Amino acid sequence: MSQGPPPVAIRAYWPEVYDFAFRASRVIRRVPFPLTISSWWRDARESRALGSSSTSQHRVGLALDLQPRERAAWPWRGARFAPAWEAIIAAARAEGLVPVDERNKPNAPHIHVQYGPAGYVDRGLKAGKLIPV
């Protein structure tokens, strides 16, 4: 996850980022398990290194990745932790966000939670919004 503040270009999405952060904090409070945010906004270098789309909602601070803090909950350690993962998905939907189940990522299982439907940043670009270079 980027360590510095988001670049200026992300300010094009500031109202959405503000709303997203509010809803995401409610997701985290709704889930009755301690969570880690393993990724939030990503600069271009990080995005390339991760093989992430250049117009991923992570690029503008509108996606984050959540995982149960307790590594014993990670999937290959046993199905009894499935409720923690399912709780993240249900809480994201309840807050009007879009969860994507990435539990099967062997090195970094997570639930990706984004603000808008797929293509949200692409539509922003067409409407003249900037994304960080």
Q: Which spans of this chain sit near Zn ion (rule: CB under 5 A)?
A: 63, 65, 112
CB of 64: closest distance to Zn ion in angstroms? 7
CB of 5: closest distance to Zn ion in angstroms? 20
CB of 29: closest distance to Zn ion in angstroms? 20
| Choice between 63 and 121, CB closer to Zn ion | 63
CB atoms within 10 A of CB 112: 20
Distances (CA, A) of 98 to 63, 65, 105, 126, 128: 9, 12, 18, 22, 24
Q: At what angle do helices 14-30 and 82-94 cross, to 10 degrees?
A: 140
CB of 102: closest distance to Zn ion in angstroms? 7
| Choice between 52 and 130, CB closer to Zn ion | 52
| Choice between 49 and 78, CB closer to Zn ion | 49
CB 42 within 8 A of CB 57: no
| Choice between 78 and 120, CB closer to Zn ion | 120
Task: Please list, residue by residue across 50-75, b when 16 or more beta carbons sit within 10 angstroms of its beta carbon and e when fewer do.
Answer: eebeebbbbbbbbbbbbbbeeeebbe
